[in-house]
Amino acid sequence: MTDQGVQHLNLFPISLYKFSLNEDLNKLKNDIYSLQEKSSGRKISNVGGWQSDDLTNDKNFTFISDIINTFCQQIMNTKLIEVKEIWANINPINTYNDIHNHIGPGYTSNSREWSGIYYIQYKKGNGEIQFRDYNDLNNVAMYTPLEQDVLIFPANIIHGVKINKLNSDRISIAFNFITEEVPKVHVI
């Protein structure tokens, strides 16, 4: 991975990173639907949608850890310490993800914890991701992704996904990770 094609977006001001992958989306969709057939999933922030259990050790999703590691080294100029969790989401019509963040027990505000989303299937109207300014929760920035987009952002950022208005599933893979140090390009 090079920094060519990676955009650095500042909101509120927070740093978001966006880049595109070129994975086999049909295979990933099939793998995710297969997981859904085997498990009722879990409920975290999903309202009506399906969310898988942790996929960090699933051979079909280990490529996510490789991508995160490369991103940390080449773009963030730091080392990956741990991929905490990887999970898949399927949001059919009339489902959404309530506002939340990804900080957990033991979280410190040292900007070493990050979250990301990889969009496997998305059409305009499937529900945009919204980011909220933690200084003013009424200040909302929306982002309409494309398939193959990856967004990476600080884990403490409050975000949610608008309702899916289409009769087409929104499918994504989300993940959390920790870096060795605060990335040198991070803006707070």
Tens-digit pLDDT profile for residues 69-123: 999 998 888 899 999 999 999 999 999 999 988 887 666 666 688 999 999 999 9
Instruction: Return the H-helix or E-strand segment holding 8.
Output: strand 7-11
Quote the DSSP letter at residue 167.
S
Residue 4 and residue 10: Cα distance in Å, rounded?
18
Residue 20 and residue 119: Cα distance in Å, rounded?
9
pTM, 2 dp: 0.88
Strands 80-91 and 96-100: unpaired
> What is the architecture, at CATH level 2, of domain 7-179?
Sandwich (2.60)
SS3 call for 32: helix
Residue 170 and residue 106: Cα distance in Å, rounded?
31
Greatest alpha-carbon span in the chain: 43
The amino acid present at 88, given as its one-letter code, is A
* Tokens (6 digits) for 58: 């699933």
Task: Give the residues across from 113 on adjacent strands.
Answer: 178
| pLDDT tens sequence across 160-184 | 999 999 999 999 999 999 998 776 5
